[in-house]
Chains A and B, each alone.
Chain A
Amino acid sequence: MRHTAWFGAAVVLTVTGGEVISHIAGDGTPAAAAAEPSALRFVQISDSHLGFKGTANLDVAATFGAAINQVNSLGHEPDFVMHSGDLTHLSLAAEFGQAKEMMSDIRTPRVFTVPGEHDTINDAGKTYRKFFGAHTLGDGWFSFDIKGVHFISLVNTTSVDALGHLGSDQLDFVRRDVTGLSSETPIVVFSHIPLYAMYPKWGWGTGDAVTLLGMLRRFGSVTCLNGHVHQVFAKTEGNVTFYSAAPTCYPLPEPGQAPAPLPVTLPAGELTSALGIRTVSFQAGSTSLALTDERLT
């Protein structure tokens, strides 16, 4: 497992013999090869919480804007950018509108989103889908393929369970979606809440994710990228590696290190050290993804 101390290090995932093994880049592996035109490069941003008001971050729009500027300053245009949820803090139309307008400034051909639980308050995501539901199914799930990688974007934030929940309709979608895919197809799954039991006491897990992961067990490379927990965290289980992303708003405590997952107010000047963006690159024909978590500058 790795935690926030790994900011800045490119972690390379290599599939060897059906196992996913991670190691730090720097030895001429796929991170360096990512500059090739055929390489897939995308960015994950998460948990902007537009509308939040509190001491943990006095201006979440400013830090979200800084994250967008950082994406635009990468030196290349990513194939797409994924916001992995909690775009807003209170599911208000004005907050969604602000998110949509700000993300329209990202220099990329595609911006995708999945909703967080803060995006589906009291209306099961109806307002979220009004702004971001085009070309999605059900509560907002969808899949797409870019440069040989199959991406599945899932919604696990519209249920009364204490944990995230996918539901039978969405699981049926995934079952149909992956039928016919070669087991060598790299799979990347996006969700807001972790698809593994990171800390169920705080709702940091998805109750029916075991069914989902069972469907993906035959694939050699499965990477699950999520938000929700406001901290970088990684875990490998079998053929699947799970990565939680840093937020652009404020940090939350590490599991069990506080009575509840309350926003953490850091000493003056330290907020940006806990915020960031994630860049991911994948070389066609390779079995390796390279992830880099960058602090907000």
Chain B
Amino acid sequence: MPSGMSGMPSSVPASTTTAPTANPVASDTVAIRNFAFGPQIVTIKAGTTVHWTNSDAEAHTVTSDTGAFKSPVLQSGASYSYKFTTPGTYSYHCTIHPFMTGKVVVS
């Protein structure tokens, strides 16, 4: 087979949303840094407001996977806050860089 050619096309799973795998951290503050949400998973009590701050030079968003909340575009240094009043698990991502994912677990 000539060099540079492969016999089969590369296959990629139909959905490869990166599910958060880090250990949950009790915190109401999430830093957006180096194209990641940290902590990736936070646990809070219902009625708590979570604060995100973008420390990257690139703009990001904080967007719920289900439409529950959606930040504006966050330029470097900008912050976004959302108050979680109902228990549940809230997955979110950056719409500009969808491989960036996070989760808020509300009890």
Q: Is the CB of B95 within 8 A of A117?
A: yes
Cβ–Cβ contact B61 & A262, under 8 A:
no
Main DSSP-derived SS at the B contact region: loop
Considering the chains assembled together, what is the distance between the CA atoms of A55 and B72 in angstroms? Answer: 23
Q: Bound complex: CA of A206 vs CA of B15, how far in Å?
A: 9
Of the listed stretches A105-113, A194-202, A281-289, name the one at the interface; the rest are far from the partner chain: A194-202
B-side residues, CB < 8 A to A, are: 2, 4-18, 34-36, 56-59, 61, 63, 65, 70, 72-73, 93, 95-99, 101
How far does the alpha carbon of A162 sit from the alpha carbon of B7 in the complex, in Å? 26
List of A residues within 8 angstroms of B14 by Cβ = 207-208
Flag if A117 contacts B34 (CB, 8 Å): no
Q: How near does chain B come to A220, taking the closest CB pair, in angstroms? A: 15
Give the chain A neighbours of B58 by CB distance below 8 A: 54, 262-263
Name which of A72-80, A145-153, A179-187, A234-242 contacts chain B: A234-242
Does A192 interact with chain B (Cβ within 8 Å)?
no
- Asked whether, in the complex, the Cβ of B98 is within 8 Å of the Cβ of A162, the reply is yes
Partner-B contacts on A (CB < 8 A): 1, 19, 21-22, 54-55, 89-91, 117-118, 120-122, 159-163, 196-197, 200-203, 205-210, 213, 235-238, 240, 259-263
Q: Which of B5, B70, B93 contacts A19 (CB under 8 A)?
A: B5
In this complex, the member of B2, B7, B16, B63 whose beta carbon has the largest number of chain A beta carbons within 10 angstroms is: B16
**CB–CB B5/A122 < 8 A:** no
A54 touches B57 (CB 8 A): yes
A237 touches B35 (CB 8 A): no
Q: Given contacts A161-B98, A263-B58, are A205 and B12 in contact (CB under 8 A)?
A: yes
Task: Name the A residues within 8 Å of B97 (CB-CB).
Answer: 117, 203, 261
Which 5 A-B pairs have CB atoms at the shortest separation, nearest pair first?
A260-B35, A162-B99, A197-B10, A203-B99, A197-B12
Q: Smallest Cβ distance from B102 to chain A, in angstroms? A: 13
**Residues from chain A with Cβ under 8 Å of B70 in the complex:** 122
Q: Point out the residues of chain B lying under 8 angstroms from A259, CB to CB.
A: 34-35
**Which chain B positions have C-beta within 8 A of A261?**
35, 97
In the complex, are the beta carbons of A122 and B95 less than 8 A apart?
A: yes
